[in-house]
């Protein structure tokens, strides 16, 4: 019950290797965030955890081994959170970036396809934001947590001319930079900061 068949250091190394591998494989395959999970994604996550269990514990089911592995995984998670909070580059690699899905009422179908978001899923996300028509959306941004942020047109806004690709890139880039407000072009001379 308490006597391990492997050394404590080996459990730590196994836990770190599995943690990094699962993180890498989920990011590389573009797996969805928790906010976007479908039942299939949840099943995959549960099967992954069961599939790597023996690789981590090496067949050792002692309480001590379980405690070492649990502490290792929690420490890895804390360390990764600490690193990503201090490095924008690491944060982008680990957590991804916000992605523009809708601009001036127009849906980017290539992004939808790349992210495997169905029209029904997008419709559900829009309805959760109180949006009934795509044309109401000035910017629709899929955040790194899987939620859709919607910046609607003002009710009295006469739709401004569409932005050029370069202007759109600059606006979207502002979303990705920490603490940088997004300036939206409005119909009058005043600017609104978001």
pLDDT in tens, 28-39: 766 555 556 677
Q: Quick one: pLDDT at residue 180? A: 43
Report the chain's mean pLDDT, rounded to a whole number.
76
Q: Quick one: pLDDT at residue 124? A: 86
pLDDT in tens, 69-107: 899 999 998 999 899 889 988 888 887 788 888 998 888
Burial of 10 (0-12, 13-18, 19+ CB in 10 A): middle
Residue among 96, 121, 86 at smallest CA distance from 107: 121
Cα 116–146–119 angle (5° rounding)?
A: 40
Query: Does residue 153 surpass a pLDDT of 50?
Result: yes
Rounded to two decimals, the pTM is 0.56
pLDDT in tens, 44-70: 878 888 888 888 888 888 888 888 989
Task: Give all domains of the chain, ordered by start, each with its CATH number.
Answer: 8-94 (no CATH), 97-193 (3.30.240.20)
Q: How far apart are CA 134 and CA 37, in angstroms?
A: 23
Given strand 148-152, what is the order of strands in its sheet? 106-107, 99-103, 137-142, 148-152
């Amino acid at each position: 019950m308490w006597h391990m068949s492997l050394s404590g250091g080996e459990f730590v190394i196994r836990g770190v290797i599995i943690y990094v591998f699962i993180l890498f494989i989920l990011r590389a395959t573009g797996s969805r965030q928790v906010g976007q999970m479908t039942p299939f994604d949840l099943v995959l996550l549960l099967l992954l955890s069961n599939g790597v269990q023996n690789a981590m514990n090496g067949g050792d089911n002692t309480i001590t081994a379980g405690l070492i592995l649990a502490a290792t995984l929690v420490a890895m998670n804390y360390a990764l959170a600490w690193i990503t909070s201090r490095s924008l580059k690491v944060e982008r690699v680990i957590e991804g970036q916000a992605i523009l899905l809708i601009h001036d009422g127009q849906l980017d179908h290539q992004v939808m396809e790349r992210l495997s978001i169905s029209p029904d899923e997008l419709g559900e996300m829009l309805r959760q934001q109180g949006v009934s028509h795509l044309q109401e959306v000035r910017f629709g941004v899929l955040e790194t947590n899987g939620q859709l942020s919607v910046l609607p047109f003002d009710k009295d806004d006469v739709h401004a001319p569409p932005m050029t690709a370069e202007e759109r890139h600059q606006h979207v880039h502002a979303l990705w930079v920490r603490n940088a407000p997004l300036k939206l072009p409005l119909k009058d001379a005043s600017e609104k900061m978001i």
